[in-house]
Structure 1
Amino acid sequence: MPTVVNAKSVTRNVGWSVLSKTSTFGLKFVTVPILARILSPEEFGAVAVALTIVQFMAMIAGAGLASALIVQRDEDMQTIHSVFWANLAISCLMALGLFVWAEPVATLLGASDAAYLVRILSLLVPLQLGGDVAYALLARRMQFSKDAFWNMISESAGALAAVLLALAGLGVWALVAQIFLSALIRIAGLFAVSRYVPGFSFSMRKVLGMTRFSLGMMGSEIANFVSFQSPMVIISRFLGLADAGAYSAANRFSSIPNQVVLSAVMGVLFPAFGSMMQDRARRSNALMLSTQVTTVLLAPMMFGLWAIAEPAMMTLFGHQWAYAWPVLGLLALSKGILTPCSTFIPYLKGIGRGGTLFWWAILRAAVTTVAVAYGAYQGSLVEAMVWLCIVNGLVLVGYSYVVFRADGTPFWRGFLLSCRPMFTALVMALVVRLLLVHFGALVPNAALQVVAGALIGGFVYGALLLVTERRLLRRLLELARKPAAVAAAEPAE
């Protein structure tokens, strides 16, 4: 790897990435409810189904080649140019195929009315993959501050444009404009800060030489994508676009904490774990520390949202979405259950366990799809979300076993340490939920119930954290105070 990686550099880059996500958090926190109040559930559902198809095609077209670039020892320009042209050619063919076959694909997913959106959004496939090589170069160099800046600009501009266009009465086109504007600004920024200029050079031999790693990554990414996106397809197919829209709106809002923390952390940890591949002690220490920290940050957000889901849905989304508050709560609960797994994918990718990641991802995708389909087949969106929570509980245990076995850490020790902040957050959420059930009538305003629940939850969680995670908090304090030179020289515990 071209950049020296240590606890200080990882912490700094995670900080930059989290800062970029946090800067757009407030904007998304406002824009998603605004759009939900202006647009109908059917409009949300149509865009969500079309975008799911496009994202799946973009994942296949990329074939994991950019991920393979990140872990290459040297920056060989012929290899880099070859990956760029291969990505572009494959993505253009995928986009053309999707454009031509948009109607039968949309019909297959129970969203024939969204075929025109599939055609339009097919243009996103080459647009999204066009910047993959530039991003891979930034990731290799651990220059996440530059990516963070352009991510903030692109997401903010897209969100603002969507709100303005929705207010102007453009309906579903507001969401389409948001997607394209964000993608265009991001790709322009990535090329500018990476200083990458595609050269007219191509070597099929070098592209094929990377496929052993890239195809394994692509397979696991596709399986993970199916795990995350299959509920949308199933709901659209069995329950219709209105329920798909309710799921999409609730999912977009409940995913904001994940977008703030996980998308930032995972991008940094993949190259970081890759640099520690041969040093088991360092990578094991980094795995446990990063898992505990992400769980400490994410678990209270997700379980807290479950606790206040009913007044939050009423306050943020309005009366037309009030019926969907159990969906918001159950989605938050299902994501909260998986918070200890946040670092597992970049860990397995970074240490070269693509086969393990692939087979586990396949199993997870199959079980998730079957369980949600069973719940939807019973005729209830809420029941489908209940089954999603049950599956995620099983995934937590199974995923932890797979990762800690690969790491050589005793299962119960690793599982309890990584999950302890999650259990603490669950206790906090139960306290808030019980207080709202028994005393919520004393605060008749839904917005005030949200504020009261958040304040009480923050106080309870903070107090519990001081009792249960003193050692972790001391470790983070030491890292914050330690000079970079010392952090680079000091061996991991």
Structure 2
Amino acid sequence: MSTTLRQQVVSGIGWKIATQVVVQTTRTAVGVVLARLLVPRDYGLAAMALMFVGVTSIFTDLSLGAALIARRVITERDRSTAFWTTVAAGAACAGGGVAAAPLVGRLFSTPAVVPLFAVTSILFLITSISATQIALLTREMQFRSLQLREMAGAAVGGAVGIALALGGLGAWALVAQVLAAEALSLVLVWRFSPWRPRAIYSAQSLRELGSFAGKTSGARLLGYVNLNADNFLIARFLGAVPLGVYAVAYNVMFAPLARLAAPIQQVLFPAFARIATDPPRVGAAWLRGNRIVAAISVPAFVGLAVVAPDFVSAVLGDRWHKAIPVLQLLCIAGLSQSLQSLNHSVLQALDRAGALLGFMIFSATLTVSSFAIGLHWGVVGVAAGFAAARTTVLPIFTTIVCRAAQTRPLAFAGSVHRVLEVSAAMGVLAYVTRLALVHAGVSSGLRLAAVVATGGAVYLALLTWREPQLVAEARTLALRRGR
């Protein structure tokens, strides 16, 4: 990378990580309060209502935002065409969502989900109006603005959700939390972005952007299937209460990946796109990025799997005890997924959307089959299927990316093996420590605090010993987070 680009990436990642700690702390606190105020059925109904928001957002955005980021040169015609196309698609999806709400209720045999689904359909329009501005801010690596908007959304959305939960509104509190966060995000992103759409529309621009976006949308759709078919099958065949248990476990598991690892991917995608003419440079940047992601997410998943019984009991409450084995199995899936989190960005930046689409077809087929098989054993079986599928595809996906980036799979293994070793050692010590505290009769809350403190201290000490360069890079990120 050039010095300027490297500085932008370092500053962007540092700012992302620092602010995501704030965002994650806020969302965790809100999640704990809501888990104690609401019951599994509330979470199940909200999950049903929000289930199709992700897949419809794919058709709303049409991956035009990713195309704007990936293209080397864009014109005003490209920007305005992308905006008006996205807004039109969002309006159509919002109207379609309202009309389809009764069908969703019948699909899940749950009439209570109908008004929830109808109201959440406005999200399609809200997100479409902000999508182009977000893409342009990302392209210019204006991550501070994007993160400020996310922090504000987390705080306001959480406050709205808690207020409605205290008012006894159940699932509506969870839906309102998302709506409030996205509405504020829309206002702020328009405040931060200087660009405004013009009354311009070009079919030629749409075709040029669409040549990239078409395959990317297909891959995104299959990625959505990978990550949401479990919710659909549980809702359809097991009902709202099991879905609520699964959803809470999934949200806890997904936090390290979505709140800490994903922001790094958001920074590196535009960076990869800028050096896409030199695949080996992309490969080298990908390996460095994977080391950072692994150092954050792997110990988080290992530690969470160890302390899951104490976390659920002390933090969420005993009503969620059925989520413990689900959470532990999902941590395996999350660990594998975190080591793949940058792969999509590499293939998109190198214009290997066809290879990405082919892999996603295979991955979706395997994952959905695993969910269907595991369904026989309830939500625990579904979680086990998820873990098996994510672990199986890891070496395959890694090999595809290595070929595109002209690097070797052994180089990938070499970039993360020390982090994996240190995390495994930390996990063993944390497990032994927890067993000793259980036998000593220490309460779940004190066990949780003691094991987390011990595991964290051991991990940092071992990582400093085994990966001093990575620790030095982390210090650099921390020092430059506000630049």
TM range (shorter): over 0.9
> In the TM superposition, what are the counterparts of 1:208-247 in structure 2 within 5 Å?
208-247=207-246
- In structure 1, give the amino acid aligned to 2:66: S
The answer as to 2:404 corresponding to 1:406 is yes
Distance 2:412 2:67 in 1: 29
- TM-aligned CA deviation for residue 179 of structure 1: 1.1
Mapped to 2, the partners of 1:297 and 1:463 lie a distance apart of 14
| Equivalent position of 2:13 in the other structure | 14
**Aligned counterpart, 1:385:** 383
Q: 1:89-128 residue pairs with structure 2 within 5 A?
A: 89-109=88-108, 111-128=110-127
Question: Residue in 2 aligned with 1:454?
Answer: 452
Shift of 1:338: 2.5
Whole-Å separation in 2 of the counterparts to 1:179 and 1:481: 33
Match of 1:445 in 2: 443
Cα distance in 1 for residues equivalent to 2:412 and 2:54:
34
For residues 42 and 475 of structure 2, the distance between their equivalents in structure 1, rounded to whole angstroms, comes to: 47
1:488 corresponds in structure 2 to: none
Question: Are 1:309 and 2:299 matched, yes or no?
Answer: no
Shift of 1:56: 1.0
Is 1:110–1:236's contact at 8 Å kept on the other side of the alignment? no
**Structure 1: gaps (5+ residues):** 483-493
TM-score by length of 2: 0.94
RMSD over aligned Cα atoms:
2.0
In 2: Cα distance, 1:327 partner to 1:145 partner? 35
Specify whether residues 34 and 7 from structure 1 end up closer, same or farther in structure 2 by C-alpha distance, changes over 3 A only. Answer: same
| 278 and 314 in structure 1: CA distance in 2 versus 1, 3 angstrom threshold | same
CA distance in 2, matches of 1:162, 1:108: 27
Query: In structure 2, how many angstroms separate the alpha carbons of the residues matched to 1:279 and 1:473?
Result: 28
Q: Is this contact kept in 2: 1:313–1:328, CA < 8 A?
A: no
Partner of 2:140: 141
> Structure 1 397/480 Cα, relative in aligned 2: closer, same or farther at 3 Å?
same
Q: Please say if residues 443 and 449 of structure 1, whose CA atoms lie closer than 8 Å, have aligned partners that are also in contact.
A: no
Relative to 1, partners in 2 of residues 1:418 and 1:348: Cα closer, same or farther, differing over 3 Å?
A: farther
Structure 2: segments with no counterpart, 5+ residues: none
Structure 1 distance, partners of 2:405, 2:145, is 32
How has the CA–CA distance of structure 1 residues 363 and 184 changed in structure 2, closer, same or farther, with 3 Å as cutoff?
Answer: same
- Name the aligned partner's letter for residue 270 of structure 1: F
8 A Cα contact 1:111 1:236, kept in partner:
no
Residues 1:469 and 1:219: Cα distance change in structure 2 (over 3 Å):
same
Alignment of 1:25-40 (within 5 A): 25-40=24-39
Q: Which residue of 2 aligns with 1:429?
A: 427
Distance 1:247 1:265 in 2: 27
**Counterpart in the other structure of 1:150:** 149
User: What is the one-letter code of the residue matched to 1:86?
Assistant: T
Whole-Å separation in 2 of the counterparts to 1:269 and 1:413: 19
Q: Deviations over 1:353-398 (max 9, x none)?
A: 111111111211111111011111x232112212211112112211
- 2:200 counterpart of 1:198: no
State the distance in 1 between where 2:4 and 2:229 align. Answer: 36
- Deviation (angstroms), 1:31: 1.1
- Match of 1:380, SS state, is helix
Structure 1 residue 479, shift from structure 2 partner:
8.0
Judged with a 3 Å threshold, the aligned counterparts in structure 2 of structure 1 residues 320 and 412 are, in CA distance, closer, same or farther, namely same
Instruction: Find the counterpart in structure 2 of residue 251 from structure 1.
Output: 250
Distance 1:372-1:110 versus aligned 2 partners, 3 A rule:
farther
Q: Distance in 2 between matches of 1:480 and 1:257?
A: 18
